[in-house]
Structures are given as structure tokens and as C-alpha cells.
Amino acid sequence: MGATTKYFLVPMFLILGISGGIAVGRLLESRESDFGTQLPSVPVSAAALQDTFASTADFAMKSVVHISATGSRYGHSADSVGSGVVLSQEGHIITNNHVVENAGALRVRFVDGREMAANILGTDPETDLAVIKIDVPEGVKIYPAVFGDSDRSRVGDWALAIGSPFGYNHTVTVGVVSAKHRQAQMDLAYQDFIQTDAAINPGNSGGALVNLKGELIGINTAIVSESRRNEGVGLAISSNLVKWVVERLRKDGRVQRGFLGLVPQSVNRDLVEGLRSQEVRSMADFLKVTGLEKPEGAYIARVERGTPAWRAGLRAGDIILEFDGAKVRSSKDIFFKVAEVDPGTKVSVRVIRNREPRSFDVTLAERPGSDFNGRPRR
């Protein structure tokens, strides 16, 4: 009898993930503001790996804070514990939305024991990210994290998770990047997770996943577990997605995303099985019927009436090949590409219909809260 896979979030109840990096040498205190810092790296041998772990942890944990949230849940007062990562000398901190939602009061604690009150600056429930802010006293130095490029992390790279599991602040665990670009059965519209086996437990949520350069490659967010405890499958939101969301939360306090109003499906075996007919019995048949050269693009399963896609003339059965001049390879690809364009922008959408290429100009609307398929929540 098979067990049901369960995903858990975690602010003292939440769960984190991991990400990886390349082993390098001694880490120096060379930091700059926000996202631009470059760190020196000195290649080391395997014999020096222990020292590398220690220096990486010492460097990175200065950017990680313990978060205490006081609020209410289900009508009762409730306190929760999570983690966060410093973004700027001005006091911006990234964490998970589920760590701070419903919080009436927030306090953060640094590794040196300093505590400060914090306020919520902006939230993005669709990625489970939030930015909070502290007022940094004049002359007080804090240490912003250095963002790494999560796309350059490799499966098998070492990774360190730093946070407050079970309230034990600034705990460091070590693992590897187990997989990249994971999605999970969670109520989050936009997902790009790094999977790790670095131990993460309740309280790690919002904390850092760093590579051996000390660069942030993910925000620990969830675990896959039957027991609500670490079982070796943690999920961290990729740093590249985090960076995109953070820039908008810091500017506007919320994330505005473009909206087409259609339901896409990747061109794959599942699509062909769903469309199976006398004409289409295999992928080869599908390519022949549609005129595609190879199985890629985003097949439009449905277009919602009255939406930008409908008004522009896009219809079910079209296959999107390009969006705003960029090639579209899958349904996830078009989903993220649309979201990254500001509402009100006119873009060109190139499709294939009845074996003929066609182009449509679409003016994007602002996307309401929606499910993963891009449908507005009612």
C-alpha cells in the first residue's frame, strides 16, 4: 500500500530546501550592497574541505537572521519561528510569506545576539516570499547576502542550509544540490525549487541555502516528508526567482505580473495521449498533423473569453512558438515569460495554427491571483 507524498511548509512548523555551489577556498569580508557583490575564491583541495565549510558558514551566517513572529492563527494567539536573509544595509530582509503572514509583531535576531523589530514591506503569496524591514541604527553595520546564480549550480555541488530549526538559531547543515527546477504539489503558482538533502526542519523556512562561496542560491521553504521532519528531500526557492521577486517587492510592496488568459500544455507524451484520435496516435502523428518540426512549444488547451489572449485572436489548438521574440519550449516557459512582462505591455505571440505560422499582437493585462495554469481564482 503506497504512502501519500506530503509537502510541508515551515516556520517552526515549516520546512526548507537546499542548493549547491562549487568548493572554493577562504572567504573574505568583501561585501557590497544588494545583489552586486563579487567574492574572491581560492580553489582548495579535498583535504581543506572542512576548513572551507567552516569559513563558508562563518561568512554566510552573518547574513541570516532568526525571526520571531507573534500573531494569531485559526482565531487563537500563536507564536512562530522562522528565518530570514539580509538583502541590504538599509535593513531589507527576505523570508517566506508563510513565516510572517498573520503576524502582529516581528523581531529579528542576528548571529551576534542583536535584536531589532521588523515590519512587513511586501509579500508575494504566489511564490511564498516576503520582504520585511528593520530600521538600522546609524553607524551599525549589517551584512547583506551575496546572491549567486542558481542556474549555474550543478547537481552534486555542496550546499549549506542556515536557519533556525526548532528555534535553534543559526544552525548550519551540509548536503548537496540533489536536483534543480523542481515543482511540487503545493498551492504556489510560481515554482522553481532547488532540491537538497541538507537537513532542514521546522524553523528553517526563509533561511539561506548557500554554495561554498557563501553565495545565496536558494531560500529554504519546504520539505517532502511523511513525518513533518527532515527525510532528505528539502526544497529551496531558486535565488534567481527570489531576486526577481525581491526587486519588485522592494519597489512596490507587491508583484505585478502580466496576464494572457489561457491554459497552456507542454508538447509531450501526456498531451498526445490526451488528444489521441484516429489521426493522432503518436508524437510523430502529432508533429505531422500540426506541422511542428520537433516536440516543443506550448499547446493552448483553452482560452478564457474576454481575456487579452481571446481579444487578440489566440484560440485553443494553437501552439505558441515564440513570446515577445523569445523561443517558447514548454508550458512552464510561457507561464514565466508572461509573468515577467509588465501589465499594459504589447507583445508579439507567434503560433502555429493548421500547419501555418501566425503572429498576434497582445496587450497584457495584470494577472489576478491565479492557479498554476494561469486561470484567475474565483
What range defines the domain where residue 361 resides?
Answer: 258-366
- Give the confidence band of 199 by pLDDT, cuts at 50, 70, 90: very high
115 shares a domain with 31: yes
Q: How far apart are CA 82 and CA 291, in angstroms?
A: 52
Catalytic residue among 34, 124, 128, 333: 128
130 shares a domain with 30: yes
With cell 522553481, the residue in question is: 192
The total number of structural domains that make up the chain:
2
List the helix and strand counts (H, then E) for the chain: 7, 21
CATH number where 296 lies: 2.30.42.10
Would residue 205 show up in a list of annotated catalytic residues for this protein? yes
CA distances from 153 to 28, 119, 201, 283, 290 (A): 21, 32, 23, 33, 37
Nearest to 219 by CA among 161, 158, 169: 161
Across residues 345-351, what is the average pLDDT? Answer: 98
Q: How do residues 39-71 score in pLDDT, each as one tens digit?
A: 555 455 666 888 999 999 999 999 999 999 987
Among the three residues 225, 254, 283, which one is the final residue of a domain in this structure?
Answer: 254
Catalytic residue among 80, 88, 178, 205: 205
Catalytic residue among 66, 92, 98, 170: 98
Q: Is residue 373 part of a domain?
A: no
Would residue 98 show up in a list of annotated catalytic residues for this protein? yes
Q: What's the pLDDT at 268?
A: 94
Q: Is residue 226 part of a domain?
A: yes
Would residue 128 show up in a list of annotated catalytic residues for this protein? yes
SS3 57: helix
SS3 92: strand
pTM for this entry: 0.81
Among the three residues 254, 280, 305, which one is the final residue of a domain in this structure?
Answer: 254
98 shares a domain with 139: yes
Q: What's the pLDDT at 371?
A: 38
Q: Is residue 179 part of a domain?
A: yes
Among the three residues 196, 224, 254, which one is the final residue of a domain in this structure?
Answer: 254
Neighbours of 35 (CB within 10 A): 16
Measured between alpha carbons, how far apart are the two ends of the chain, in Å?
36
Q: Are 7 and 223 in contact (CB under 8 A)?
A: yes
Q: How do residues 218-248 score in pLDDT, each as one tens digit?
A: 999 999 888 777 888 999 999 999 999 999 9
DSSP string, 70-86: EEEETTEEEEEEEEEEE
DSSP for residue 206? T
250 shares a domain with 287: no
CATH number where 54 lies: 2.40.10.120
304 shares a domain with 177: no
Q: How far apart are CA 99 and CA 94, in angstroms?
A: 11
Q: Is residue 211 part of a domain?
A: yes
Q: How do residues 76-121 score in pLDDT, each as one tens digit?
A: 566 889 999 999 999 999 999 999 998 989 999 999 999 999 999 9
Q: What's the pLDDT at 80?
A: 86
